[in-house]
Structure 1
Amino acid sequence: MRRTGASSPKLVPADVLISLNAGLDETVNLSETLAMDFSTLWLAVIGEECDGLAAGGVTGRMALAGLAMGERWAEFRDHQSDTVRGWACYARVAVGGDLSGVLQDLKPFAADPHFGVREWVWLAARGRVIGELDLAIEILTNWSFDPDPNIRRFASEVTRPRGVWCAHIPALKLEPWRGLPILEPLREDGSRYVQDSVANWLNDAGKSQPEWVRGLVADWGEIGVADRIAKRAMRSLSE
């Protein structure tokens, strides 16, 4: 039976933490990730020490681990630990290369069955997307038609104008309509996972361009839009 995750990092059972830090199991929620000792996990998986993994914010430590992993990322893309697979996402981005190749290599992570890896991959890719926004939108527009809802969700999530744990995308805060090639194919998506991402995208945009969001949702209402998207996209505008 799958365990129920602790409600806070301090409440994660010792035996669970030992298994997670050894790279033998996957996390079941964010509390477990925040409770982990990345230095211990790194030593268990890589076999050597890595400075800086024991302190600081979790996204910074993920990025640092990816930078240290570097070219070895492919060795760990199927690792049992979701956290290690997350490191591999950051590592692939750190290695660099043309954006198309980077995104293609990240695509399996975007389809990962674990929720955490699906978050780490878009967070890892965010900087490259911001740096080459027009090209990223061109590439990711095709992902909006992918049969896998996880891939479709990535296309929306990685381009959200705002974020809590990530850099904002100033260009899309100012001109959110530039993201329409990605969003239009998703307006009637049948997956709630995708619907929530699209709604959050528009809710982000509404904080800087509220009239545009109102107009878009109204236009979509004429041609078809998932009710969940329409309601959630407007939630901040109705406050």
Structure 2
Amino acid sequence: MSSAVATVRLQSLNAGSVSSTHLAECLAVDFAALLQAVAPTLPQASMQRMRAAAGKGITQRMALAAALLREAGQGEAQHWQAHPSDSVRGWACYLIGGDAQAALTDKLQAMRPLADDAHFGVREWAWLALRSDIVAGPLEALALLQPWTQQRSRHLRRFACEALRPRGVWATHIALFKQQPGHALPLLEALADDPERYVQDSVGNWLNDAGKSQPGWVRDVCARWQSTHGSAANTYIRKRALRSLQRRTVHLGSR
């Protein structure tokens, strides 16, 4: 992945002096080099552990970086959450998420500025870092995030939906919402006509996730919304929600 990023640019990313501009840059960052640059007093044993983890997935390395900072007494998330590097701000997310002494409500409060970060990657790390807490208590998380659907920031409204998706590319699945997605209907209803495409995509993806295990429920919701929500936003959400089910129907019909 690093070969797709210019050498000089990669040096700046690894030094922590700039933020990435796209996913390829995010994935190209050498975490060991970045950790050495931003936390040079870390023990060499910690640096060796990060170098040894180079072949692991990025979510594992994000969590490891946060753990190494915490072990070295540098685990105060506020110290890192305004750093120029989006990767370092992502470590701050994992410092918050990995705090075994904090309740989910406190973690969400601490995560708000990172969930509203200007960088797309940090906003994703913000919910991924809380995913284990959310999987462990999905109904509590749902209740805590329902008010976020009314926030002025589109980032926070999206976070409320994205953090609770039944599935997800890099995320542990939420078994309850895969089998009983109706629990989240009040949250989805609150965002059913959201004017921001960034939020609409998340709502559509949430329903598309649910459709893989509860297709009838998703079809029923979309059919009802078609008669009760006349906005262009909802039309777009419904189309996105049904895309996998429609492809499946076309595929079956072609047999």
TM-score where L is the length of structure 1: 0.94
- Give the equivalent residue in structure 2 for 1:235: 243
1:238 alignment partner AA: Q
SS at match of 1:159: coil
1:32 alignment partner AA: E
Could you report, residue by residue, the CA deviation over 1:167-203 in whole angstroms, capped at 9, with x for unpaired residues?
1111100001111122110000000000000000000
For 1:145 and 1:22, the matched residues in 2 are separated by 38
For residues 32-181 of structure 1, what are the structure 2 equivalents within 5 Å? 32-47=25-40, 48=42, 49=44, 50=46, 51-54=48-51, 55=54, 56-70=56-70, 71-96=75-100, 97-181=102-186
For residues 158-237 of structure 1, what are the structure 2 equivalents within 5 Å? 158-224=163-229, 226-237=234-245
How many correspondences in the alignment? 232
For 2:107 and 2:192, the matched residues in 1 are separated by 27
Give the superposed CA RMSD: 1.1
1:9 alignment partner AA: S
Q: Highest CA radius of gyration, 1 or 2?
A: 2
Compute the displacement of 1:151 (Å). Answer: 0.2
For 1:228 and 1:25, the matched residues in 2 are separated by 35
SS at match of 1:53: helix
Q: Is the 8 A contact 1:210 1:237 kept in 2?
A: yes
For 2:14 and 2:138, the matched residues in 1 are separated by 36
Q: Is the 8 A contact 2:2 2:25 kept in 1?
A: yes
| Structure 2: stretches of 5+ with no match in the other structure | 248-255
TM-score where L is the length of structure 2: 0.88
For 1:119 and 1:126, the matched residues in 2 are separated by 11
2:36 alignment partner AA: L
SS at match of 1:95: coil
For 2:84 and 2:62, the matched residues in 1 are separated by 17
For 1:158 and 1:204, the matched residues in 2 are separated by 13
For 1:190 and 1:137, the matched residues in 2 are separated by 22
1:187 alignment partner AA: A
Q: Is the 8 A contact 1:66 1:87 kept in 2?
A: yes
| Structure 1: stretches of 5+ with no match in the other structure | 1-7
Q: Is the 8 A contact 2:93 2:129 kept in 1?
A: yes
Could you report, residue by residue, the CA deviation over 1:197-229 in whole angstroms, capped at 9, with x for unpaired residues?
000000000000000000001111121151110
For 2:84 and 2:144, the matched residues in 1 are separated by 30
For 1:9 and 1:143, the matched residues in 2 are separated by 37
Compute the displacement of 1:21 (Å). Answer: 0.5
Q: Is the 8 A contact 1:69 1:88 kept in 2?
A: no
- Give the equivalent residue in structure 1 for 2:252: none
For 2:193 and 2:120, the matched residues in 1 are separated by 23
SS at match of 1:52: helix
Compute the displacement of 1:30 (Å). Answer: 1.1
